[in-house]
Amino acid sequence: MARTDPDAPASTAWRIERAALLRTSLVVATAVAVYGLSFGALAVAAGFSLAQTCAMSLFMFNGASQLAFVGTLGAGGSMLVAVASALLIGARNASYGVRLAPLLGIRGLRRMLAAVVTVDESTALAMANERADDRGRAGRFGFWSAGVAVYLLWNLTTVIGAIAAQHLGDPRALGLDSAVAAGLAALVWPSLRDAATRRAAAVAALVAIALTPVAPAGVPVILAGLVAVAVVVRVDRALPSRSAALPRDAFGTAA
């Protein structure tokens, strides 16, 4: 969260906070854009044209889903499996939209534009700076600054990566195909904060590893994702009963 001097005038404090949010957005966007280079190169290697590759980043704009989609097709998977993988990974953005709707408070065309840039980075910056004392102004600015910055840099690096791949030959020879796994790992890692999430991730990873030698490309990702959801739901349902079973002190607090 951006910090400001509490003794500074309101207008000056807001300028300082806004500048800090812009810097943070650019840093985050630059880090994410590195994967855009790999995506552009891998998409071309998988048989997509420059125009098709750029269109995916312009209209799909979901790094993890794009990497999964291209990675599945590049590994020989079917279009149906590739689409299912991309949809499964991108489904989390719907929950982001539900969470951010009260903060953003927008309708019409702006709401459609907000849907495009509702990604992990814009959601994180919005929620980290959401405060009641400024009526959500910092949170909204964080959302738009991060979302627009990531969108522009992701699309720019997609073009650069795709053009470079046309001249460098097979990106796999340069090790760029590992960007799919690296990108997804980078996406998941910050979420592994509690035991339940780590348990679900571990079970899903084992399922994916076990199925990879025998299942068609992309299918292990889909099944592993479904298993992870099932584990999380099972743990969530078990938590109330466990809490109720704990011994309690005189104040009703679980011991």
The stretch 224-234 carries a mean pLDDT of 72
The stretch 5-26 carries a mean pLDDT of 79
Q: Dihedrals φ, ψ of 49, to 5°? A: -80, 170
Q: Dihedrals φ, ψ of 254, to 5°? A: -65, 135
Q: What is the pLDDT of residue 254?
A: 40
Q: Which residues have CB under 8 Å from 132's CB, separation 6+?
A: none
Q: What is the pLDDT of residue 51?
A: 94
Q: How confident is the model at residue 241 (pLDDT cuts 50, 70, 90)?
A: very low
Name residue, tokens 């689409």.
83
Buried b (16+ CB within 10 A) or exposed e, 54-83: bebbeeebbbbbbbbbbbbbbbebeeebbb
Amino acid (one-letter) located at 90:
G
What is the DSSP code string of 227-255?
HHHHHHHHHHHHHHHHHHHS-B-TTS-B-
